[in-house]
Amino acid sequence: MTYKRKDGRKNDELRGPIVAKVGVVPNADGSAMFQIGKTIAIAAVYGPKKMHPQHSQNPEKGTLRCTYNMNSFSVEDRIRPGPSRRSTEISKITEWAIEPVLMIEEYANQVVDVHINIIQADAGTRCAGINAAAMALAHAGIPMKDMVSSVSVGKIDKTIVLDLDKFEDSEFEDGEGSTDIPITFTHEGKLTHIQLDGKISPEQLKEAIEMGKKSCDEIYEVQKKALKEIGK
């Protein structure tokens, strides 16, 4: 018995449209927008600038500081604006996903600020945020070893599917229910971030990672195209 997707996508098919735009915030040092399906994220990078408050300065190397925020109008029922337990977690997760490729060792006592705003949410917001942040950081001229691309893989009942939407992520409850696994890859194929809460067998997890790796290449091409367009 296999799960049939509501929107008629294949199991390893990303949501459309995938749109990426660089330089959407003129006042920022670097910025980008990333849309996948109905999820839209905007990232703005400020810095490197002097770290404030002073007690958080690191004299050994530079710091990356991400702020993830979901706008109150991004979902159907208005969410309470301001930081929450969930948004602080995702901010930290985004930092960890991007930090391995960032070369900010030389920026002692300085900080690179990344502000991620979700203006429309339909599941997979942290992945869209990471994709937008990677482009914005490159646009800000921050030295990076590689680009990162992120996608969420999920298990619906017993089937591994790619890029869950809102229904598959939080409303599907038949059989084993749904499990969401956000994954981030560098273009080289190295894993920088994986999250999982739920039940999955090691074999199926391997399958999910493989599927994620393949689609991250697809997302990378979109990011690359968007960055090259702005330089013209």
The CA distances from residue 109 to 28, 60, 86, 113, 164, in Å, are: 20, 8, 28, 13, 40
Q: Is 190 in the site for another protein (CB under 8 A)?
A: no
Distance CA(189)–CA(185), nearest Å, equals 6
For residues 3-42, which are near another protein according to CB under 8 A? 23, 29-30
**Least distance (Å) between residue 124 CB and another protein:** 23
Please give the size of the binding site for another protein, defined by CB under 8 A: 33
Binder of another protein out of 24, 75, 79, 108 (CB under 8 A): 108
- Which helix (H) or strand (E) segment holds residue 108: the answer is none
Locate 58 and state its tokens.
């690191």
Q: Is 61 in the site for another protein (CB under 8 A)?
A: no
Q: Is 53 in the site for another protein (CB under 8 A)?
A: no
- Phi and psi (nearest 5°) for 99? -50, -40
Rounding to the nearest 10 degrees, give the CA dihedral for residues 129, 135, 139, 140. Answer: 40
**Least distance (Å) between residue 55 CB and another protein:** 18
Of the candidate spans 36-44, 150-158, 168-176, 180-188, the one that interacts with another protein by CB under 8 A turns out to be: 180-188
- Which is nearer to another protein, 16 or 141 (by Cβ)? 141
**Least distance (Å) between residue 62 CB and another protein:** 9
Distance CA(163)–CA(154), nearest Å, equals 7
Question: Roughly what angle, to the nearest 10 degrees, separates helices 125-139 and 202-230?
Answer: 40
Binder of another protein out of 3, 34, 107, 172 (CB under 8 A): 107
- Contact, 168 vs 5, CB < 8 A? yes
Dump strand ranges (E) for the chain.
18-22, 30-36, 39-50, 63-70, 110-120, 148-156, 159-162, 178-186, 191-194
Amino acid at 47: G
Q: Is 58 in the site for another protein (CB under 8 A)?
A: no
Q: Is 215 in the site for another protein (CB under 8 A)?
A: no
**Least distance (Å) between residue 50 CB and another protein:** 5
For residues 119-178, which are near another protein according to CB under 8 A? 138-147
Locate 220 and state its tokens.
């990378």
**Least distance (Å) between residue 57 CB and another protein:** 11
Binder of another protein out of 6, 7, 19, 49 (CB under 8 A): 49
Tell me which residues touch another protein (CB under 8 A). 23, 29-30, 47-50, 101, 103, 107-110, 138-147, 186-188, 223-224, 227-228, 230-232
